Amino acid sequence: MSNHTLLIIGYVWPEPNSSAAGTRMMQLITLFRQQDWHIVFASPAKQGAHKVDLTTLGVQEHSIELNHSSFDHFIQQLKPACVIFDRFMMEEQFGWRIAKHLPNAIRILNTEDLHSLRAVRQNCVKQYLKQNPTSFDLNDLTLTNPKTVFYQMASTDLAKREVAAIFRCDLTLMVSEFEMALLQTEFQVPRQQLCYLPLLYPNNPLIQNSFPSFETRQHFISIGNFRHAPNWDAVLWLKQTIWPTIRQQLPKAQLHIYGAYPPPKATQLHNEKQGFHVLGWAENALEVMQNARVCLAPLRFGAGMKGKLADAMRCGTPSVTTEIGAESMQGTSQTWGGKISNTPHDFAMQAVELYRSPSCWQKAQQTGFEIIQSRYMLPHNSQVRFLSQLKKIMRCPEQHRQSSFIGLMLNHHHHKSTQYMAQWIEAKNNNSIRP
């Protein structure tokens, strides 16, 4: 087995200009390339319009099939020392095959965010809006309380599936300290099976001086992949409640909404008379961000680290978001590069203040720079810790696995049932095409 071959099994092909998940994946690829790993990226997904050409980076691309033994032959020839599953669904689908044919390969789960946490929060917001269709206060839902969300998550199939995948893997990468703590304190995941590795960015101390000033910037911006449910909900909340309040105070202001893959229901919201511009995919997200005066991210549900808000701080663009949006990004200082609000009217008023006040705006911008500089700039200790954890596991994988009986038990039972189901699906598919 090669000591420097990494197989990444992607839920989708990387699109760093479309989503934070795409940015995250490219950062992982860069980190492993810097360590001289040979990387193969494989995915069962169709290639999107904005996919990165990984071959230009020296990364091999390979299309794979779900529930098909061709994957077994592929990995037996490749013999990777390490496999990264991009999101738990890929571990569910391919984990048993890796364990069966390459038992010594280190299995890493890249979560992006906790899907089950995001789903529970989404359902809570949905139920709240049914009972309170004309008003909304995120404070009523206590969605940032670990015990509250744990009890709601624990009853869902999605959480059971996701946390089981975490236990089955040798190491799970997390971008959120809140989610790290939630897994350890409430779900009892051992610390040695988790690694905090947030989105990280190149350090350029001179860039702060090159951004457009308060006076030369104009308009509000909101950005996010429309296929991501929290982003679409945020656009609707802006359209229906928040933006009309802002326009009452700033009649000439415009809101420019960017995001990959806007559906017709999104583009139909475009209304120039209201200053509500749905502009779709931005070829250079950082460019449009740094030319805007204020970023709006009214996220009522979600999880993980928000790449759009990190980009706003990197670009010197103050933002207004919710507690959900800022979760785990403030650090111990509990400051923010802008404003945090959980109610629509206050959200709008905070946005207006940032837009009108040069002193308020400049203070927020500086705070954003400080957060990025202290928490998300390279070089970063989290990368060192991750590489150290990985090397330790690779030296004694069996010893690492024996320390978690729950992981051993879940691997045994899940992989057997998944294997039989996958083999049944493959046999059924083969029979269906016979004459």
Question: Out of 33-37, 200-204, 310-314, which region has the weakest mean confidence (pLDDT)?
Answer: 200-204
Residue 329 in tokens: 């990004």
The residue type found at 200 is L
Answer whether residue 348 shows pLDDT above 90: yes
DSSP 240: I
pLDDT at 1: 38
- From residue 10, alpha-carbon distances to 70, 93, 210, 212, 353 in Å are 17, 11, 36, 37, 42
Check if 5-198+380-432 and 207-375 are the same fold.
yes
The CATH class given to the 5-198+380-432 domain equals: alpha beta
Between 425 and 199, residue with greater pLDDT = 199
The residue type found at 398 is E
CA distance linking residue 273 with residue 390, whole number of Å: 55
CA distance linking residue 411 with residue 276, whole number of Å: 50
Instruction: Give 145-194 pLDDT, tens digit per residue.
Output: 999 999 999 999 999 999 999 999 999 999 999 999 999 999 999 999 99
pLDDT at 332: 80
| Type and span of the H or E element at 277 | strand 276-280
Q: What is the dihedral of CA 43, 23, 189, 228, to 10 degrees?
A: -80
- Cα distance between the two ends of the chain: 41
Answer whether residue 435 shows pLDDT above 50: no
* DSSP-assigned beta bridge partners for residue 338: 319
- 0.75 cut: is pTM over it? yes
Answer whether residue 432 shows pLDDT above 60: no
User: In this structure, are residues 276 and 263 in contact, taking their beta carbons and an 8 Å threshold?
Assistant: no
User: In this structure, are residues 19 and 53 in contact, taking their beta carbons and an 8 Å threshold?
Assistant: no
Cβ neighbours of residue 103 closer than 8 Å, sequence gap 6 or more: none
User: In this structure, are residues 325 and 357 in contact, taking their beta carbons and an 8 Å threshold?
Assistant: no
Mean per-residue pLDDT, 253-279:
97
**Percent of the chain clearing pLDDT 90 (strictly above):** 85
Mean per-residue pLDDT, 215-232:
96
Instruction: Give 352-400 pLDDT, tens digit per residue.
Output: 999 999 999 999 999 999 999 999 999 999 999 999 999 999 999 999 9
Residue 433 in tokens: 């095409």
**Coarse DSSP helix, strand, coil percentages of the chain, rounded to the nearest 5 percent:** 55, 15, 35
Where do the domains of the chain lie? 5-198+380-432, 207-375
Instruction: Give 88-104 pLDDT, tens digit per residue.
Output: 999 999 999 999 999 99
Query: Could you count the other beta carbons within 10 Å of the beta carbon of residue 331?
Result: 13
- From residue 197, alpha-carbon distances to 24, 112, 126, 203, 319 in Å are 10, 10, 31, 17, 23
Closest by alpha carbon to 301, among 156, 150, 149, 121? Answer: 121
pLDDT at 419: 66
**Percent of the chain clearing pLDDT 70 (strictly above):** 94
pLDDT at 207: 56
Among the four given CATH numbers 1.10.150.20, 3.50.50.60, 3.40.50.300, 3.40.50.2000, the one describing domain 207-375: 3.40.50.2000
Task: Please give the mean pLDDT across all residues of the chain.
Answer: 93
